């Protein structure tokens, strides 16, 4: 059966043609009997009248039918597509090339023109900002408009109908879509791991209070979870897993994870130690297992950055909260022993080993590299150390006093004469089974050879600085311990686990002890039981404190340079000291800046100090703290980083005046955040 004939008015054209045919036959027969008129004329006249009636009447009927169908909101063309569009829940209109509406479906009429005739209206009469040309040029993305308080995503499609250009314009309501998206965001699953990161270290000699402190921490955890509607369980002693929805997570982010402040309010009895917590949160798309893995990775990052903070991983970025407490030192050597055994296996399996530290290498970076090279030599591996090796006596690298002193000391041993390479030579030494070990740095932009880690999958980081946000490497081994005083301290512990007693030689031990001496400011800051243990081990291996002291001697020129720095020191907010050396500086001034920043902490009331100098168009900042302020977080805002109380940054293409202004803005931000935290704790 022909379904087209079943539409409303479907038989009317056929009835009309039948009537015209009957009239034609009747008229023709009557005219034949009229006297005086030729049959030929009768035929012509009757045929003309018949054709005229058929064409004119057919056009009239078609127009009448279309008009009635449009009024009833039914099919205009009689096809399935138009029927569907007429009943479609979103507004649709057919526009002619004069931007006037030829036809619109029910949804369009009910939303925009319920009381008036829609035909012939212009789009601008529906919504003033709408222009057909703008909608069509927007393509698939369409444009967003607000009409009578509702948001619409408007699209336009060009077509031909009856030989004329037409535009089909659709109005998709985005309010409903936005509501669905918001509902999804509120109900998505977020996983968090939270641990008390310093409780074991804090109560190592106070075992009788451990249970009481843990119970108080658990009480705070469950109160916090109840406040935000989260599910939380302790899966291991002082370790928790929390599951929450997107709405609760958003509230946590807005609040800045105040759980850190609540945990920090717990005091260890009979001591000034506070308990701290670290967390890893996963807000990524994926399976529950993938979310849990991301949360675990975020927690590891939080611990590598020193603890007392929450790290959040999303699909687009990583967020950091907290980090205002100095890392607690764990006296246990178990972790060092574990990493030592892992490193030993990796070195044995490698074809060759390449060791490097940061640019402008100092005693700590160099000493740590020498310690790793010693392990590789002992295990029979081929090893090289990457440094900015001077090509001649006139090379600019010879201006680096630290490197000159280190090379002079280590080259007393013949096995080190051919071990050093520059970054270009190091590239040629890399093979698929090469092991690259990075010490005293984990920020990729600060490496001596930044491209080297990308050349191998066998990568190791050994560092005492907080993990840099820019570090995206999937290292086989990442031994990062911000509680350690120096990289040389960490490597000394590894050496003690792997090397037989007496195998180290005096120059090697001297350089490593110099590294510890440098980063502890002559053993006056950042020292722990493990620091003195590492120093004692190096002394047993032949290190001489008198020889090491000579590394730090300065001449008259260096003394005068330090005085120039101090002369332009200004105090800011009564607790910060900022020293600036005006004009262009030389390479050695970077070392001088670090010394000046250290010395400024001796000023009464100063909690943090900053020394700035400009070298080769870049402003270098050396930042130091008494331990009350995390200068590493401050320097991260400039793309730098470092240790809790010792950090730095480099501002490329910047002048000193602007650098000081930006630094003060960061200090103001710190004071505002610190004041807000204090208010929350009150």
Which position has the higher pLDDT, 73 or 95? 95
Identify the top-confidence range among 46-60, 319-333, 480-494, 665-679: 480-494
Instruction: Give 425-452 pLDDT, tens digit per residue.
Output: 999 999 989 999 999 998 888 899 998 9
**Average pLDDT for 524-550:** 89
Identify the top-confidence range among 200-214, 462-476, 535-549, 561-575: 535-549
The pLDDT of residue 79: 58
Cα distance from N-terminal residue to C-terminal residue, the chain: 84
pLDDT at 380 over 90: yes
Name the band, by pLDDT with cuts 50, 70 and 90, for residue 470: confident
Instruction: Give 206-226 pLDDT, tens digit per residue.
Output: 455 677 888 888 899 899 889
The pLDDT of residue 681: 38
pLDDT at 680 over 60: no
Residues 6+ apart with CB under 8 A from 404: 398
Instruction: Give 140-153 pLDDT, tens digit per residue.
Output: 878 888 877 778 88
Looking at the DSSP bridge assignments, the partners of residue 253 are: none
Three-state SS for 554-593 is CCHHHHHHHHHHHHCEEEECCCEEEEEEEEECCCCHHHHH
The pLDDT of residue 193: 93
Diameter over CA atoms, the chain: 148
Name the band, by pLDDT with cuts 50, 70 and 90, for residue 62: low
**Average pLDDT for 292-317:** 85
Give helix 174-187 / helix 246-255 axis angle, nearest 10°.
Answer: 80
Instruction: Give 315-342 pLDDT, tens digit per residue.
Output: 888 888 887 665 555 545 667 888 899 9
Which position has the higher pLDDT, 445 or 394? 445
Name the band, by pLDDT with cuts 50, 70 and 90, for residue 671: confident
Instruction: Give 602-621 pLDDT, tens digit per residue.
Output: 889 999 999 998 888 889 99
Name the band, by pLDDT with cuts 50, 70 and 90, for residue 7: very low
CA distance 606 to 509: 35
**Average pLDDT for 60-89:** 55
What number of H helices and E strands is found in the chain? 24, 23
The pLDDT of residue 20: 64
Residue pair 255/261 in contact by the 8 Å Cβ criterion: no
**Average pLDDT for 74-79:** 44
Across the chain, mean pLDDT equals: 80
- Note the helical H segments in 358-432: 363-378, 401-410, 423-428
Instruction: Give 191-205 pLDDT, tens digit per residue.
Output: 999 988 776 654 444
Closest CA to 466 of 593, 642, 678, 620: 642
**Average pLDDT for 168-187:** 73
pTM (2 d.p.): 0.59
Identify the top-confidence range among 66-70, 128-132, 231-235: 231-235
Secondary structure of residue 612 in the 3-state scheme: strand
Residues 6+ apart with CB under 8 A from 234: 218, 221, 240
CA distance 674 to 368: 36
The pLDDT of residue 382: 95
Residue pair 295/280 in contact by the 8 Å Cβ criterion: yes
């Amino acid at each position: 059966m022909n379904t087209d004939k079943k539409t409303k008015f479907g038989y009317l054209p056929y009835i009309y043609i039948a009537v015209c045919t009957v009239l034609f036959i009747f008229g023709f027969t009557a005219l034949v009997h009229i006297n005086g008129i030729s049959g030929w004329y009768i035929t012509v006249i009757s045929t003309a009248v018949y054709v005229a009636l058929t064409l004119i009447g057919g056009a009239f009927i078609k127009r009448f039918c279309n008009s009635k169908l449009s009024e009833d909101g039914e099919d205009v063309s009689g096809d399935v597509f138009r029927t569907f569009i007429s009943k479609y829940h979103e507004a649709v209109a057919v526009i002619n090339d004069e931007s006037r509406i030829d036809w619109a479906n029910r949804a369009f009429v009910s939303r925009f023109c319920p009381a008036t005739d829609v035909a012939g209206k212009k789009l601008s009469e529906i919504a003033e900002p709408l222009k057909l040309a703008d909608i069509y040029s927007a393509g698939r993305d369409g444009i967003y408009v607000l009409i009578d308080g509702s948001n619409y995503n408007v699209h336009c499609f060009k077509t031909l109908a009856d030989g004329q250009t037409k535009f089909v314009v659709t109005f998709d309501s985005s309010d409903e879509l936005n509501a669905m998206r918001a509902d999804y965001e509120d109900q998505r699953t977020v996983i968090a791991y939270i641990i008390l990161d310093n409780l074991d270290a804090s109560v190592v000699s106070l075992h009788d209070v451990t249970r009481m402190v843990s119970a108080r921490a658990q009480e705070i955890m469950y109160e916090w979870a109840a406040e935000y509607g989260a599910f939380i369980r302790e899966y291991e002693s002082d370790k928790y897993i929390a599951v929450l929805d997107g709405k609760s997570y958003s509230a946590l982010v807005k609040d800045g994870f105040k759980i850190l402040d609540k945990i920090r309010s717990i005091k260890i009895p009979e001591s000034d130690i506070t308990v701290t917590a670290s967390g890893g949160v996963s807000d990524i798309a994926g399976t529950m297992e993938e979310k849990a893995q991301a949360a675990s990775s975020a927690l590891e990052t939080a611990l590598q950055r020193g603890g007392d903070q929450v790290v959040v991983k999303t699909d687009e970025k990583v967020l950091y909260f907290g980090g205002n407490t100095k890392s607690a030192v764990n006296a246990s050597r178990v972790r060092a022993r574990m990493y030592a055994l892992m490193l030993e296996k990796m070195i044995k399996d490698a074809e060759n080993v390449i060791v490097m530290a940061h640019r402008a290498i100092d005693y700590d970076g160099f000493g740590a590299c020498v310690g790793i090279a010693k392990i590789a030599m002992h295990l029979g591996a081929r090893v090289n150390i990457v440094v900015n090796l001077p090509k001649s006596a006139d090379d600019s690298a010879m201006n680096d006093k630290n490197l000159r002193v280190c090379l002079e000391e280590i080259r007393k041993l013949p096995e080190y004469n051919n071990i050093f390479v520059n970054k270009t030579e190091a590239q040629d030494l890399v093979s698929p089974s090469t092991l690259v070990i990075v010490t005293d740095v984990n920020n990729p932009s600060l490496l001596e050879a930044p491209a080297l880690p990308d050349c191998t999958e066998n990568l190791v980081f050994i560092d005492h600085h907080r993990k840099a946000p820019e570090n995206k490497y999937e290292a086989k081994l990442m031994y990062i311990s911000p509680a350690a005083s120096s990289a040389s301290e960490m490597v000394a512990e590894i050496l003690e686990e792997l090397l037989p007693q007496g195998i180290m030689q005096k120059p090697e031990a001297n350089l490593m002890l110099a590294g510890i001496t440098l980063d502890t400011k002559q053993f006056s800051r950042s020292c722990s039981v493990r620091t003195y243990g590492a120093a004692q081990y190096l002394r047993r291996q032949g290190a001489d404190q008198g020889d090491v002291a000579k590394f730090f001697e300065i001449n008259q020129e260096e003394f005068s340079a330090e005085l120039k720095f101090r002369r332009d020191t200004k105090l800011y907010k009564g607790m910060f000291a900022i020293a600036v050396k005006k004009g262009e500086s030389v390479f050695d001034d970077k070392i001088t800046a670090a010394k000046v920043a250290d010395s400024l902490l001796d000023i009464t009331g100063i909690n943090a100090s900053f020394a700035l100098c400009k070298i080769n168009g870049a402003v270098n900042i050396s930042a130091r703290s008494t331990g009350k302020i995390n200068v590493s977080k401050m320097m991260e805002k400039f793309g730098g980083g470092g240790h809790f109380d010792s950090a730095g940054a480099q501002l490329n293409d910047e002048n000193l005046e602007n650098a000081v202004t930006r630094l003060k803005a960061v200090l103001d931000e710190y004071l505002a955040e610190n004041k807000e935290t204090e208010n929350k704790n009150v």
